Structure 1
Amino acid sequence: MSFDVAAIRKQFPILKREIDGKPLIYLDNAATTQKPQCVIDALVDYYSTCNSNVHRGAHRLADEATRRFEDARDIVKNFINAPKREEVIWTTGTTEAINIVANGLASLLLPGDEVIATGMDHHANLVTWQQACKASGAILRTVPVTDMGELDQAAYDDMLNERTKFVAFPHVSNALGTVNPIKDMTAKAKQFGALVLVDGAQGAAHGHVDVQDIGCDFYAFSGHKIYGPMGVGVLWGKESVLAEWPVWRTGGEMISTVTLQDATWNVLPYRFEAGTPNVGDAIAMAEAIRWFSALDQEAVAAHEKALLDHATELAEQFEGLTIIGTAKEKIGVLSFVMDQGHPADIGFLLDRQGIAVRTGDHCAQPLMARFNVPGTARASFAIYNTLEEVDALFVALKKVQTMLA
């Protein structure tokens, strides 16, 4: 399982940048990943050679744009092993994808029905269900988080019952890096006939997503967290569910017939894709998936594990630093606090040394409250990071500790 990180890094132009005269060390990948040159080229090529609106044009550019756009849908289908291309819906990202589901759910739930979310959810996968339950009179229940940063599976088992209509949970925690047992949790929910959504924003970038194997009804993820552009993402849903799901947005493309008094909806996936789609970014996202999928996935996983293992070892030896989230199964995230300094101060002082991390509550305020911290500093790793960069992070943290003492 050889992995040439130097060769990978050469494909990312931004990694040549310096910050205040120091080489950029980018450790904010859970927020967004950087883009290889081939993705940048794909976006530029679309706008340079065949920029056009899709599906309805009667000219060559429209035909070419439509072909590339729909080819991109096929690439996503294969990437997540979806049964049908019609089940792949383009969105602006994970947040919009979840909102499409939540909006429909609000009209389907009845008072007394139950929805299960979790205490480690990103706000996009929690507030949406809060609002759906408020609109419908349903009851929202949340799976608690253990001291290690894992979902309490015994509590989850106890919550499931005949009133459970919908369950949502993250594939991977954006704040802790915890990898959840999504296949097992889905199977348990299915025993009670519940629909299941997996927030895959942090999971898709680590490969091996198989929606048929997971058994869920919905899987959502974003392009910009898998080396693609911002502003584009995917909602996958089972055809049998999507075909009956209430539409959210109305307008062009998503209709079949319109009179002055009524309208009927288009077939899948177009009934959920109102208006002019983000064609260029969809094509570039597909290029990112193609690029990522061509890598040796076992070698990629081994490299990312080595980064996290090394960072964890150094963190455990670092006096005055506490890791938040020590789950047995983790991917690419080291979230921590220090005895000296607010996370925001830590992030600022790291930036002055050329190191980019994320600080704050990571759009997971209930999770921060669970651990009784105002927020954390979060270093998150990607395939282009190196062990030397991990070492540099902890050298820089020593300086931060001295400055804040």
Structure 2
Amino acid sequence: MSMTSEMPLPVRRGGLCPFSPAEEFRALRSSEPVCRTTLPGGEPSWVITRYADVRRVLGDTASFSNIAAGQGPMPPPRPESREIPPPQEGFFVAYDPPEHTRLRRMVSSAFTMRRLSRLHSYVDSVVAEHLDAMEAAGPPVDLVQALALPLPSSVISELLGVPHADRAELHRIGAMLFDLTTPPAAQAANFDHVRAFMRDLIAHERAVPGDGLIGMLLREHGEDLSDGEMTGICSLLLVAGYETTAKMIALGVLLLLRHPEQLAILRDRPELTAGAVEEMLRYLSVVHYGFVLTATRDVTIQGCRIRAGDYVMCALPSANRDEALVPDPDRFDVTRRPVPHLAFGYGAHHCVGAALARIELRACLPALFGRFPDLHLAVDPEEVVFETHSAVYGVRSLPVAW
């Protein structure tokens, strides 16, 4: 079977439910699970929509390279030579094994549950601090600015060891890297700004290593990592370490507010929180595609011949709504037994910060609804503005009252 039709790149959630993937995905999974599309920069790409095929592609680093990730969420047009520029030093998400394995192993040691357990009390304190501020300010408040953004921003900055005075500006710039409408030159300039700051911070930490991740990497792997590698690693973690969690917090709260029967179950049975977070991750799948992959050799998927050099995108929201993964996938159910969803990706490039994101979500949601049991939208649901042109789906603001 050969499938060669082309469709517009779907990123907007469709239909009457703003939490659902674009409506086209349901039909594609059924009749055309591998199809052609065009990236915003004009490059053609394949889109993979079924759960099993997405797992296969993400798990096959020998056939699919992450090198294009070094150019951002959506790579610009390739030069006449058709060669993809090499990623910046240390930007390990754009590396392939074995170099990716070497750097990721060093970074992963900072994200073990033993190390992250030390952050539990800090996360709880930051949540309480922002809830106190909300209560003092009184309703209405924008939950995005009051909690969803500052919590993961504070946590990843604390983990890295970023000085408090620099955190807000760095994350403002970092957020722009996820906007699919930002021109490639502007994206590059923003990332250069982040890298310049990290270079200065790493130089300081080499002289006096702190207690954060940067200091840990220097103490345990300082002789094996160049300043350039350290800069790339820490810049990547900084800009990627809060965007997805921030979007999940705000969108997850909205999801629960729009499903009051599920919120009631969660209030009555707090022991379901961990499983409910997994269901929210599956159901929302805030990352549209992850990074664009590049085929390194000819591969056939569902009868479609993908040629070496072709771009390939994995539609994570579609895969997580595949009937092959879970029955009745379009139903949100906090009592559902967790399934091996792909919200954090899969395989060698599975999100290194997944455990940290789970800690924040599990701490934030019960505390918020425990403090404000009557929390509700302060605007009509139709007035909530969704960020459809970002690599990570979410809401621009979320006015709430209690």
TM-score when normalising by structure 1: 0.29
Could you say which structure has the higher helix fraction? 2
Higher Rg: 1
Could you say which structure has the higher strand fraction? 1
Structure number with higher relative contact order (C-alpha < 8 Å, ≥ 6 residues apart): 2
TM-score when normalising by structure 2: 0.30
